[in-house]
Amino acid sequence: MAPGEKNPRPIGRHLGPYQIIALVGKGGMGEVYRARDARLGRDVAIKVLPPGLARDAARLHRFTTEARAVAALNHPNIVSIYDIGSHEGAPYIVSELLDGAEMRAQLDKGAIEPQRALEYAQQIARGMAAAHEQGIVHRDLKPENLFVTKDDRVKILDFGVAKLRAPAGEGTSAETQTNPGTVLGTVAYMSPEQVRGEQADHRADIFAFGVILHEMLSGSRPFRGTTGVEVMNAILNAEPPPVAGTDGARIDPQLAGIVRRCLEKSRQRRFQSASDLAFQLEALSQRSGTAPSAVAQPVRRGRARYAWPAVCAALALAALWFGISDLRHSRNTLPVTRFQVALPEKAAFVPWVENNGLSVAPDGCCLAFVATSDGQSSLWLRRLNAVAAEQLPGSAEAISPFWSPDSRFVAFAAGGKLKKIAIAGGPPGDDLRPAHEVA
C-alpha cells in the first residue's frame, strides 16, 4: 500500500478469527463493523481504531490494560468486551453486538420524558459505580458513548479508548493524553478540572453525567458557546441554567437538585462517588413511584425489586419505635446546648444529604452526622465532652442515622441494609431488634 493511501474497509475479510460482515458506523475514534465469530457461532461488534493512535507504545499499553479491566466488569450497563487485537498496525476491540442506537439519536429530537430520563440516569450511574469501584474512569462520558438498546437498557461504551487520544487540535473535540497540564475529553462534557488541564479522577465522570442528565431533561446542554473556547469559559465561570422541562413537563425539584450537585465547579462539592449518586436517584425513583427498569439489573431482579422498599419500611418502623420510646422519656428534659462541630482535615459535610444527617442522641451525649473523607462518605460521632469528631468504622455510605432510646447505639442505612454501631466500640451489626433486647 502506498504511503498515505487509505486502508480499504475490510468487508468480507478476516480480522484474526472474525469475518467482517458490514460497516455499522464510524467516527473520530475509528470504524465499527459487524463481524462473525465462527468459533462461537455469534455475531460481534469490532471497533477498528486508527493506526496513528497506537504508535505510542505506552499509551497502547495503558489502553490494553484498561480494556482488560473493563472486560472483567461484566455489568449489565457496560458494554461487554470479548477480545482485543491488532490488524496491520491498527488496534481493534471486539465487543457484544448491540441492537438500538446511541443516546445522541434521542437527544437530537429534543428532551427525553422525565420518567424515562430518570430510568436512564439510574442505569448510567450504576454502570459508572461498577467501573469506579475497580479504579476505572471513563474520562469522556457523553451521549455518543451511551447506547440505548431496543429494550431500553443503557450501555456505556468506550471505557479506556480516551487513553489513546492524540493531543487537542482544532474544533470542538479537544482530546489528549492524561498527563497533568493537558486537556482531555469532549469540550461540552468536560469538567472544570479537565478544562484547566488538571489530573481528572472519577468525579470528572460525575460532572459529565450531570451535563448529560441536564440535556436529557431540558433538551439543551448547560454550557454553550459558538466555539470550544467559549464553551470552556462557560464551564469554568458560568452557572448552569435551571433544569426546565419542555412542553410543560414538570421536573422534580429533587432531581433538579441532583443535576446541580453533579455540576458543581469544585469537585469537592459534587457527589463523591457514583454509588452515592445512584442511591439518590433510586431513592427519588422509589419516592416518585418510578421503579427502576426491569432490564437495568437482570441478575438481581428477584431481590432488588423489594430491597429498598423493605429498608425504607424498616427505617420507618424503627423511627416510630424510637419515637414512642422518646415520648416515654420526655420528662427528662435537657437544657439547650450550642456548640461547633470541627471536622478533621480533608473531611467535609455531605451537601446532598438532608441536614447533613445530623442526629442528636436522646441523652444529649453525642451528635451523629454524615461526612466524607478521602472521597468516601461515612458516619461520624462528636461527643459533647470531646474536642474532635471521630469516624465510626464500618459505616461506609451511611445515611439517615438515628439513635436507640438509651443512646448506646446509632443505627443507619447503608448498602440496602439497616445497621447499628455501639458508640462504646465494636463492629457494626445488622440485627435490627431494639437495643435493649440485644444488650
Helix (H, G, I), strand (E, B) or coil at 22: strand
Cα–Cα distance between 239 and 433 in angstroms, integer? 47
Locate 56 and state its grid cell.
Answer: 505510542
Annotated catalytic, 140? yes
The catalytic residue among 37, 140, 158, 205 is: 140
Are 347 and 372 in contact, with CB atoms under 8 Å apart? yes
Sheet-wide strand order for 100-102:
100-102, 146-149, 154-156
Give the strand pairing for 399-403 and 417-422. unpaired
Cα–Cα distance between 11 and 188 in angstroms, integer? 34
Give the strand pairing for 90-96 and 81-87. antiparallel
What are the CB-based long-range contacts (under 8 Å, 24+) for 123-126? Answer: 123/77, 123/153, 123/154, 123/293, 123/296, 124/77, 124/154, 124/156, 124/209, 124/212, 125/209, 125/274, 125/277, 125/278, 125/281, 126/75, 126/77, 126/274, 126/278, 126/296, 126/297
Q: For residue 118, which of 188, 212, 224 has the smallest C-alpha distance?
A: 212
Locate 196 and state its grid cell.
Answer: 484547566
Cα–Cα distance between 392 and 369 in angstroms, integer? 10
Q: Which amino acid is at 407?
A: S
Catalytic site positions: 140
